[in-house]
Amino acid sequence: MTNFNTKAFEKLETPFYYYDESLLVRTLDNLVSASKKHNFHVHYALKANANDKILKHIISAGLGADCVSGNEVKKALSIGFSPNNIAFAGVGKSDYEIKVGLEYDIFSFNCESTQELEVINQLAENAGKIARVAIRINPNVNAKTHKYITTGLEENKFGINPWEFETVINLLEKCKSLQLVGLHFHIGSQITDLDVFKSLCIRVNEIQDWFISRHILVEHLNVGGGFGVDYTNVEENLVPDFNSFFQLFADFLELKPGQQLHFELGRSVVAQCGSLISRVLYIKNGQNTNFAILDAGMTELIRPALYQSAHLIQNISRLDHLALHKYDVVGPICESSDCFGKAILLPETKRGDLIAIRTAGAYGEVMSSSYNLRDKANVYYDSDLN
Ligand code: LLP
């Protein structure tokens, strides 16, 4: 059970992000012991949360980094990730960003188009380097998640489609400054149906067989991230079941002798350790509902507005009050989509009460904006407050 230090919170200016480092460490311990059983490699997807303190825990746990921009690569390097543990994906890498990766000899560029392969080859040649590349493949597997975070269907912009494989092989033969080290897949995020990953494994086996039939056996397979978390029963599932997740790949993915399997997990590592803490500014009686108007909005956490996601909302000033009332919990931004949840059951809620919006450690703070010229929310860690 998460015990928020509401006494300490009372003294702080809201809204703020609160991170429970002890939960993060527990999550990482679990993740590492589950992946080590199979000798799998995990790269943490910096896009989920790139706070220094969080990244330092992740480095201490021995994870690599998965980056999607030149600045993420630079951040990973500056915080201490080793270049040979950094994968760089992204459908639109600029020349400058590619040069950053080349300069530091990163582990691999996960390439998403034939033209990108040509550009990396040219830039590597100019720099007198050999770029290590993995082909990001679009396997056309349905991730059964929100359409905005589905990335592995033919209709999506990501990855190279099978009808281009022949072209890729011919291209790689010509590109003398590229070294093919892997095949990469990432089909989407917040995947809660584990059968989806089984379908991915089956597709990866087929695709790998095709490449082997063309005499290409890569050293690394990378199956991306996407492992979902429980946004509803948060307390029961503070630490995702990494054992079942990795076991599934051990059971269904056919690794060839000496081949290494990599993952790029973001959300499942950091989502549950973060909460957005806010104060109720006003209670307003609407026509069919009451509004609880918070001092946090879509500028601090855009997920409900963008993906219609439902985060658990708790009035942590009145956890012991049993009688519940319905509220539409909304932010102060001038948009009707600025709503954290409709008909949310809360104890009778008053101006000044503290509200926790849970499971906000991933894609929360990193996606915040200054729309309406809002200030950036503060950040606190359990170690600051105890
Ligand atoms: N690898 C690649 C190439 C990715 O694009 C992503 C996420 C990951 C790994 C990490 O996936 P995860 O393990 O976190 O599911 N803003 C959205 C999520 C966008 C995910 C983008 N790519 C949200 O708030 O739900």
Name the residue ranges covered by the structural domains of the chain: 6-15+272-385, 21-269
pLDDT confidence tier of residue 350, bands split at 50, 70 and 90: very high
277-333: per-residue pLDDT in tens? 999 999 999 888 899 999 999 999 999 999 999 999 999 999 888 899 999 999 999
> Which atom of ligand 1 has the smallest separation from the CA of 190?
15
| Closest to 300 in 3D by CA, of 23, 19, 15 | 15
First-to-last C-alpha distance (Å) of the chain? 17
Residues with C-beta less than 6 Å from any ligand 1 atom: 45, 47-48, 66, 89, 149, 186, 189-190, 224-227, 264-268, 303, 307, 363
Helix pair angle (95-103, 70-79), 10° resolution:
30
3-state secondary structure 24-40: HHHHHHHHHHHHHCCCC
- Separation of CA 34 from chain center: 19
Is pLDDT at 365 greater than 80 in this prediction?
Answer: yes
Determine the residue of 27, 44, 46, 47 to mutate for testing ligand 1's pocket, defined as the one with the most ligand atoms within 8 A of the Cβ atom. Answer: 47
The secondary element (H helix, E strand) that includes residue 200 is helix 194-213
Give the mean model confidence (pLDDT) for residues 364-370.
98
Identify whether the C-beta of residue 291 lies closer than 8 Å to the C-beta of residue 346: no
Is pLDDT at 156 greater than 90 in this prediction?
Answer: no
Is pLDDT at 173 greater than 80 in this prediction?
Answer: yes
> Which atom of ligand 1 has the smallest separation from the CA of 151?
5
CA of 189 to the centre of ligand 1 (A): 5
Residue 62: CB atoms within 10 Å: 13
CATH fold of 21-269, please?
A: TIM Barrel (3.20.20)
Determine the residue of 264, 300, 367 to mutate for testing ligand 1's pocket, defined as the one with the most ligand atoms within 8 A of the Cβ atom. Answer: 264
| Closest to 73 in 3D by CA, of 105, 121, 31, 41 | 105
pLDDT score at 149 = 84
pLDDT confidence tier of residue 141, bands split at 50, 70 and 90: confident
Percent of the chain predicted with pLDDT > 90 = 90
Which residue's alpha carbon is nearest to atom 19 within ligand 1?
A: 149
pLDDT score at 337 = 96
9-58: per-residue pLDDT in tens? 999 999 999 999 999 999 999 999 999 999 999 999 999 999 999 999 99
Identify whether the C-beta of residue 335 lies closer than 8 Å to the C-beta of residue 274: no
6-15+272-385 placed in CATH 2.40.37.10:
yes
Is pLDDT at 116 greater than 80 in this prediction?
Answer: yes
Q: What is the pTM of this model?
A: 0.96
